[in-house]
Amino acid sequence: MSRKLSYREAMREAMHEALASDPRVFLMGEDVGRYGGTYAFSKGFLDEFGPERIRDTPLSELGFVGAAIGAALGGMRPIVEVMTVNFSLLALDQIVNTAAALRHMSGGQFSVPLVIRMTTGAGRQLAAQHSHSLEGWYAHIPGIKVLAPATIEDARGMLAPALADPDPVVIFEHAGLFNLEGELPDDWSADISSARVRRAGKDVAIITHGGSLPKALAAADTLAASGIEAEVLDLRVLRPLDGASIMAAVAKCRRAVIVDEGWKSGSLAAEVIARIMEDAFYELDAPVVRVCSEEVPIPYAKHLEEAALPQAEKIVAAVKGLFA
């Protein structure tokens, strides 16, 4: 048996479960209370759980992320909602210099069991300041886990183990997925340690995460009509990367395309390729290629935004180039 729900509903259900089952859990962020969340993730929560558990914050990411770190050190389990990833830059000092480093700098005396959720990605005509994909920045930082749920199952299931983790966890939720609907099986499962094969294949591995997963799956369907069977690997966990799953996909298919909505320069895609070169070079029958966003601030105009981002057609062309 299964039931149908949207990505938004799955994430809301996961937060509701966390709040209802553990009095240490509380939600804080801009407009999470009376407004119900910028993306309606917390609609109705204020009436049900009250202002002590659902805390509207001032427009100060530096301040409220810092407050959440203090609460986590004091034994609470905060869920912090950052409206969009670009605003998280205002809290980088708290996330990188404090939350990520405290366990190490205290010699293991302190941990920061903090979950930070943030909306990432482009495709909604929000122009350059609200269309970033900065997962690769955070995946660079020791001391935190970085998650990118791209399916209904992961939206529903990743929050609980993230809250149970003794160290900070950053969850990137791609806005293009919020209205995605799918079936959630009764026996669903999720973890925050491994990649998942979303489509089996034998000819080329398409390795991706987050909002690019539906595009990779669409590209795989198109390629199948041409006789090319693509395996689609959803990284899901960006730090620590599941190297074993990446290498297994490369060894199986002997060709690989990395799809990453981040910019190519210094990208997460570059890290994945470097690891393939280090650990699976002799498994390859062709150079690894990548499909990333163009090296420009994301445009506002819809046709230019679409041209700047990875699309299924670009993935298909990149794969076919490996067989030319």
Q: Is 153 annotated as catalytic? A: no
Region of 189 please: left (phi>0), alpha (psi -120 to 50) or beta: beta
Residues 320, 314: Cα–Cα separation, whole Å:
10
Of residues 9, 30, 81, 130, which has the active-site annotation?
Answer: 130
Residues 210, 223: Cα–Cα separation, whole Å:
21
Of residues 9, 61, 173, 271, which has the active-site annotation?
Answer: 61
Count the Cβ atoms, other than its own, within 10 Å of residue 39. Answer: 18
DSSP, residue by residue, 185-215: ETT----SS--EEEE--SSEEEEE-GGGHHH
- Burial letters for 233-252: b for 16+ Cβ neighbours within 10 Å, e otherwise? bbbbbbbebbeebbbbbbee
The three-class DSSP label of residue 217 is: helix
CB 249 within 8 A of CB 256: yes
Tokens of 224: 């199948």
Q: Is 140 annotated as catalytic? A: no
Q: Give the catalytic positions in this structure.
A: 61, 130
